[in-house]
Amino acid sequence: MDIEKKLSEKTIEALQSLYGSTFEKVVFEKTNPDFEGDLTLVVFNFLKISKKKPEVTANEIGTYLKTNVAEIADFNVIKGFLNLVIADSFWLNYFQSIHGKQFISSELPANAPTIMVEYSSPNTNKPLHLGHVRNNLLGFSVAEILKANGNKVLKVNLVNDRGIHICKSMLAWQKFGKGETPESTGMKGDHLVGKYYVEFDKIYKYDIETLIGQGKTKEEAEKQAPSILEAQQMLLRWEANDPTVRKLWKMMNSWVYAGFAETYKMIGVDFDKTYYESNTYILGKNIIETGLAKSVLKTRADKSVYIDLTADGLDEKTLLRADGTSVYMTQDLGTAVQRAEEEHFNKLIYTVGNEQDYHFKVLFLILKKLGYIWAEGLYHLSYGMVELPEGKMKSREGTVVDADELMKEMIDTASSTSKELGKADGLSKEDAEKLYRTIGLGALKYFMLKVDPKKKMMFNPAESIDFNGNTAPFIQFNYVRIQALLRKAKENLNFNDLDPVVSPSTIFPKEKELIIKLYNFNTTLKQAAEEYNPSVIANYVYDLAKEFSQYYHDFPVLKEEQKNLVLFRLHLSKTIGDAIKASMKLLGIEVPERM
């Protein structure tokens, strides 16, 4: 029941009938809340063919549509804006049509496009932090939204498990670890390895200060510091398959993987496949050879390999160092080609912060120049960084907000707030603990996802757990309120066996408004997918919950005297609850049944 599509077709028909001309596409907007109407047509684009004033043109089109479209009850004109009022009967028929149906279908079309979404992409030298939280939540939610739009989605993770940063942690543990393990220390493996990454940075800074004191420049000291030279030597030994270095690498990485698995489980994200840069960097080197053979890539006098992109407004990009070791770009080339060959995707979305915008411009351009047609389907989902009141996070200095500690803090805050408000009264200890976890993690996820990905954001945990604001707890509370209403109704009415029959004369404007919001679910879902933007869903579900909250306050349900209105309002409430649950699921957020 796509009323916008029907109106668009009829408006094109009207333009032909009234003015002997037509348009390929006519778009309607939601009517400004200050005016009467549901959908608005801006007529200024049609003045060239109507050769009349905006008000006259709008009135003529409005009259034609009201005469020829049964769903239009009335219209009004404000200057060049034609506001159409859709009949209550249309909205009620729509509501009847979705009664008992799922908002999201799990069935995929036979020709569903394959979209690969990469997110997380952690380094195995440190635990996940606040920035990773936004990345994981954003990538997971976009994948769920794309899946709900009828795409075959593959959620993938690329683990940065090799490179100089990994060797820094390894070297520090080798020198100062004294055989520490996650078991002997009681620390999560990723936290233990991260501890030694911070230790290396302290040593490196000391080396730099010492060399500067000996008369070296800061740049010279950074390059000649004994600690960094040792780390670089360890990387060369790793690439040469030195058994001692490889054994240490595998052991410490295994600690990190176990730690990551715990964090992913807690935050509620998963992956269909995980790639490792230790495998793909070799594929990248093979691509370099192909690029050299095609003369797309060039070799410098020091034997380093690069590509000249200055003619494209970019720069020269080194792809292999003079010593033959890979750079990140080399690995990304190899990974992209491997994925294309294995999965034959239609689109590949990289969920990576906007600090890497230039990197992905270069990556996509190199792949296109190498002749890979599928490179046209590559997309960088660039998002703003998460900042703290005291400034940017720095992993190597240990001044990050750890993801595990953050989630624990959110759950603890949810616990204290819920107890204070009596939200867990009457629940068993087990159910109460589950509720605190659902509220705390829901608050964190919603706070991260309600902001447009392109914008940087300031994280404030205190604002996220508020049962009265634009938060997950507020939305969750209204879902719980609906479930409580339905449970109470079942004690008195077997309403599930009855259809919500109601005549158009009994529907109130607020009920019509709620049905329109339900109608807009699919449009919202489509917009969120097209923009790769979960905040579209977040804003939608908040508005829905807010409007229901007002409706619940102003309109009696079980106390309504007319039985048909009782049934209608129960079904309306249940359907709104279903829409809230479906929307929150797209954001990776659970909704509790009781609170």
Q: What Å distances lie between residue 542 and 10, 270, 473, CA to CA? A: 33, 26, 10
Model pLDDT for residues 321-371, shown as the tens digit of each residue = 898 877 889 889 989 999 999 999 999 999 999 999 999 999 999 999 999
User: Residue 480 pLDDT more than 50?
Assistant: yes
Mean pLDDT of the chain: 92
Take residue 400 and report the two structure tokens written for it: 């990050």
Closest CA to 94 of 545, 521, 541: 521
Give the integer Cα–Cα distance in Å for 359 and 312.
Answer: 14
Give the integer Cα–Cα distance in Å for 64 and 219.
Answer: 75
Say what the pLDDT of residue 497 is.
55
User: Residue 501 pLDDT more than 70?
Assistant: no
User: Residue 28 pLDDT more than 80?
Assistant: yes
Residue 293 CB contacts under 8 Å (≥ 6 apart), including other chains: none
Q: Which of 61-75, 203-217, 482-496 has the lowest mean pLDDT?
A: 482-496
Say what the pLDDT of residue 389 is.
65
What would the mean pLDDT of 396-423 be, rounded to a whole number?
84
Cα-trace Rg, the chain? 29
Say what the pLDDT of residue 390 is.
59
Model pLDDT for residues 241-256, shown as the tens digit of each residue = 999 999 999 999 999 9
Model pLDDT for residues 118-161, shown as the tens digit of each residue = 999 999 999 999 889 999 999 999 999 999 999 999 999 999 99
Say what the pLDDT of residue 245 is.
97
DSSP state of 402: B
Q: What Å distances lie between residue 523 and 2, 178, 588, CA to CA? A: 10, 59, 20
Q: Which of 102-111, 340-349, 377-386 has the lowest mean pLDDT?
A: 102-111
pTM over 0.85: yes
Give the integer Cα–Cα distance in Å for 514 and 522.
Answer: 14
The percentage of the chain sitting over the pLDDT mark of 70, rounded to a whole number, equals 95
Model pLDDT for residues 444-476, shown as the tens digit of each residue = 999 999 999 999 888 777 788 888 889 999 999
Give the integer Cα–Cα distance in Å for 130 and 387.
Answer: 9
Domains and CATH numbers, the chain: 3-86 (3.30.1360.70), 119-397 (3.40.50.620), 403-586 (1.10.730.10)
Say what the pLDDT of residue 23 is.
85
Say what the pLDDT of residue 500 is.
57
Q: Which of 119-128, 188-197, 563-572 has the lowest mean pLDDT?
A: 563-572
Give the integer Cα–Cα distance in Å for 15 and 45.
Answer: 11
Model pLDDT for residues 1-18, shown as the tens digit of each residue = 589 999 999 999 999 999
Question: Given pLDDT bands bounded at 50, 70 and 90, which one contains residue 529?
Answer: very high
Give the integer Cα–Cα distance in Å for 593 and 595.
Answer: 7
Closest CA to 204 of 169, 234, 250: 169
Question: Given pLDDT bands bounded at 50, 70 and 90, which one contains residue 394?
Answer: very low
Give the H/E segment covering residue 514.
helix 509-519
Say what the pLDDT of residue 459 is.
78
